[in-house]
Amino acid sequence: MKAAAELVGVDYRTIKLGIDSGTIPTVQLGPRRMIPRAALLRIFGVEP
């Protein structure tokens, strides 16, 4: 979550709230929860 927050320039708690509310999609890979980069950038309006 911290890396995702740094990527889009927000606090990591914003990312956590988005995941918990379902606004930010995630993919479960074993024990890790991953956030698709393209979706994250689109949600926050960041150009790749």
* Domains of the chain, residue spans: 2-43
Task: Tell me the pLDDT band of 41, cut-offs 50, 70 and 90.
Answer: very high
pLDDT in tens, 5-40: 999 999 999 999 999 999 999 999 999 999 999 999
Q: Could you tell me the CA-to-CA distances from 44 to 14, 32, 41 in Å, in that order?
A: 11, 22, 5
> Cα separations (Å) of 33 from 16, 24, 30, 44?
11, 12, 8, 19
pTM: 0.85
